[in-house]
Every structure is written in structure tokens, then in C-alpha cells.
Amino acid sequence: MKAISIGLVNVKRMIRERSNIFFVFIFPIALVLLIGVQFGGGFAPVVGVHQSDDGQLSEAIVSSLQDDDSIDVRVFETRNELTTGVEEGSVQAGVLLPGGMDDTAAAGDSVEIGFMARTDGTGGQLQSIVGAALSEIMAPVGAAQFASQETGAPFSDALEAAAGMSRQTSPIQVEVSSTGEATFPDTLGQFDLGASSQLVLFVFLTAMAGSSALILTRQLGISKRMLSTPTPVRTIVAGESLGRFSTAIVQGIYIMVLTLVIFSVNWGDPLGAVLILVAFSAVGAGAGMLLGSTFSNDQQAGGVAVMIALGLAALGGAMFPLDLFSPTMQKVAHITPHAWAIDGYAELVRRGGTVIDILPELGVLVLYASVLLALATWRLRVAITRP
């Protein structure tokens, strides 16, 4: 019972601290929103377009590019803005439509369209996508130029004839299909990927940051005073562990419920989702306790906590999808508990798994938690009984 009250005091202390309200409750949700808005919509390359005038051809090209599903189009007002956009990387490539294209085409000349891409990006390869969109629009123009030269008929008449023809004569269709199992299926919601990785990141971060609370408890002599009461060391250690563990759980449940309500994030099988959270919170509690009993300066522990928590989160795939890691980095990632928790959520969310399917991940997390908690218990026992 005493262990539980020590744990509860810890949760209360966390919630009362005003800056924690930001880091524990506001910031994770803001980040899920930011990442969902930023990256949830997919990674279609962006092509910038600048029109020197609004002639017919120019307009037709822009709308044809906009209809292309494989690229996003941003229209720039000036040529300089387009150049800057390409140079700074806000668009991957730029298309510069010259003025007077209609007249150039009517005169039978080849229209020169500027294409801008940096040498180091994907931009150069977008040239073929742009080229395909252009060649569709320009096909009747080329046909009309040819007919007008052959027959001597005015370009406008030839264009009328050609426009009618090219609609009928499209002999080769291109059909695109995809095979294989999608890493990120279409059913995956805009916020789904971000939500589980932010959960893992923040639960661990909060548990690690809790190490400074543990150090303060020791610095202020609270541990010593508890020891002077008829409370065995193991109860104090259990209570402090419970404190770290419950703060992690409180935050985890909060993130789950709120993202479910606000962003309708799919967490998969609820029992499985909560079990991963419980196991992972235990890992975080163990790590936080170990840090809090190893350091005796709360500022140092705070810095190390941020470094370890963010570093492990990045390595473990909580900032960037594990699926996109290289094979070597995937192996490295699975040294962190984060990767196992994220794998577990992926199993539940993307493949509709149940508790049975995530048993391996849960097993690894429980193993992490036991080792860390055992080490932390031993270190804390030494730290609070030291004279």
C-alpha cells in the first residue's frame, strides 16, 4: 500500500508541474498534428511552374500538369521566385513557360520550354513526367504544324483538323499497375503512423525525464526521511518505480485516447495496444530509474535523458519509418526497445494483428523491462542507503 502512495505522489508531482502540462500533454498532440499535416499526405514530388503569359497553350500545359496525379504543382508568380524555390529545395523541379507560345507554334517553330532542376536531387528524373504531360498537350500542335507545312493551309485550320484527329487516334494506351504488398497501405490514416511513433517517443522521454524527479527526491532528503519511518527499502524502491511507471502510463493512455478522439487514429486491437503500452512504460520506468539512481545532479541527468530518449527514438524508428531503414540500420534499430514497440503497433494497425501476433514483441519488451528494473532497483537501493 505504501508503495502505491509513493507512486501516486509521483504522478501528482508530475501533473502539478506546469511545464509538464506542455511537454506531457500539449506537445505530443501538436507534433502528431504537425507530422500528419506535413507528411501524412504522401511524398508526391512538387513541380513549380511559372507562366510568362496566359496564352492558350500555356494554360493548357498548366492544367495538364495539375491533373497529373504523380506530381503536385505549385504556381509561381515570378521567374525569380521559381528559381529560388528550386535552389532552396521547396520544389524539386521548375517549368518555365515562355511568353508567346501560341505565336511560336503558329509560326511552325519548336516551342522552347525551360526545365529547371538541381543536379543533386530527384528533379532531373521528373523531367520525363513533365515531358509526358507536355507531349500530350503538344501532340495536336505538332500534327498541325506538320499538316500546315505539307498542305500550305493556315495553322489555325490545321490545328482544328489535328485536334479532331488526335482524339480519335490514340493507338497506344499505357496501363500502370503495381504489385507487391504495400508498406504503407492506403487504409493507413493520415495520422496513424505518426501517432504510434509519437506515443513511443514521448512515453520514453517522459519516463527518462522523470529521473530528475527521482534525483530531487533524494537531494531534498525525502528518501532518507521515508527510510527513517518503518518502511523497508524495497517498498520505497517499488514505490518510486511505480511512480515512473504510472506517469508513463498516464501519458500513454492520454495520447491514445486523444488521438483516437481528435484524429480518429486507428490503434488496432485495443487489448494489444494497451499491453504494448504497459510493457513499454515498464521499460521506460526502468531506464528512468537507472538514470535517476546513477546521476546525482538533476541538470546533468536531464540533459542525458533528452539525449538518450531522442537518440533511441531516432534509432528505433520513432521519427522515421523503420521500413525505410537500410537492412543494417534495421538490425541496429532492433537494439532499442522502441523498434519492438513500433513493430508491435505496426502488426496491430497495418496488418490487423491480435495479442497472439504481438507476443514476440511483448516478450522482448518484458525482457528489457525486467533487466532495466532489476539494475535500477539495485542502483537505487545503493543510492538511497548510502550515508
Partner 1 sequence: MGSASRIAGKDLKLRMRDRSVFILGILAPLVLAYIFYLVFGPAATGQGLSLAYGAVDEDGSDISSAFLSVLENAESEGVLELQTFTGPTEAAAALDAGDIDAYFLLPAGLQQAVFTNQETTIDVVGDVDQPTSTQIAASFAEQFSSGVGASQAAVAATASIAGVPVTPQFISSLSADPAAAGMSFTLVDQTADTKQLDAPTYFAAGMAVFFLFFTVQFGVNGLLEEEREGTLARLMAAPITRSAVIAGKGILAFLLGVISMTVLIVATTLLMEANWGAPLGVALLVMAGVLSAVGIMGLVASVAKTPEGAGNLGSIIAVILGMLGGTFFPIASSGGILTSLTYLTPHAWFMRGLASLSSGAPWTAALPSVGAILIFALVTGTIAFISLRRRLTR
Residues in the chain: 387
Q: Does 180 bind partner 1 (CB under 8 A)?
A: yes
State whether residue 136 is helix, strand or coil. helix
- d(C-alpha 47, C-alpha 89), whole Å: 11
Cβ–Cβ under 8 Å, residues 358 and 272: yes
Nearer to partner 1, 239 or 292 (CB): 292
C-beta closer to partner 1: residue 1 or 16: 16
Binding to partner 1 (CB under 8 A): which residues in 273-312? Answer: 297, 299-300, 302-304, 306-307, 310-311
Question: Is residue 132 involved in binding partner 1 (CB under 8 A)?
Answer: yes
Residues 6+ apart with CB under 8 A from 85: 48, 74, 76, 91, 94
Contact between 25 and partner 1 per CB under 8 A: no
- State the Cα–Cα distance between residues 328 and 333, nearest whole angstrom: 9
Rg (alpha carbons) of the chain, rounded to whole number = 30
Of 59, 121, 233, 254, the one binding partner 1 by CB under 8 A: 121
Question: Shortest gap between Cβ of 351 and partner 1 (angstroms)?
Answer: 15
Binding letters toward partner 1, positions 199-238, x by CB under 8 A: ----------------------------------------
Q: How far is the CB of 336 from partner 1 (least distance, A)?
A: 11
- Decide: is 15 part of the binding site for partner 1 (CB under 8 A): no
Looking at the Cβ atoms of 5 and 70, the one nearer to partner 1 is: 70
- Residue 169 found at the interface with partner 1 (CB under 8 A): yes
171 part of the interface to partner 1, by CB under 8 A: yes
Residue 311 CB coordination number (10 Å):
11
How open is the CA angle 27-29-31, to the nearest 5 degrees? 70
Q: How far is Cα 234 from Cα 376, in angstroms, rounded to an integer? A: 12
CB atoms within 10 A of CB 216: 14
Could you give the string, one character per residue 47-76, with x where binding to partner 1 holds by CB under 8 A and - elsewhere? ----------------------xxx--x--
Question: Cα–Cα distance between 30 and 34 in angstroms, integer?
Answer: 6
Work out how close the CB of 299 gets to partner 1 at its nearest, in angstroms, rounded to a whole number: 4
Q: Which residues, 321 to 360, sit near partner 1 by CB under 8 A?
A: 324-326, 329
Give residues 247-276 in contact with partner 1 (rule: CB under 8 A). Answer: none
Contact pick of 77, 78, 150, 386 for partner 1 (by CB under 8 A): 150
Which residues, numbered 74-93, are part of the site for partner 1 (CB under 8 A)?
Answer: 74, 83-84, 86-90, 92
- ∠ at Cα 363 (359, 369), nearest 5°? 145
Residue with cell 504543382: 73
Report the nearest approach of partner 1 to the CB of residue 262 (Å).
19
Return the C-alpha cell found at 202: 514521448
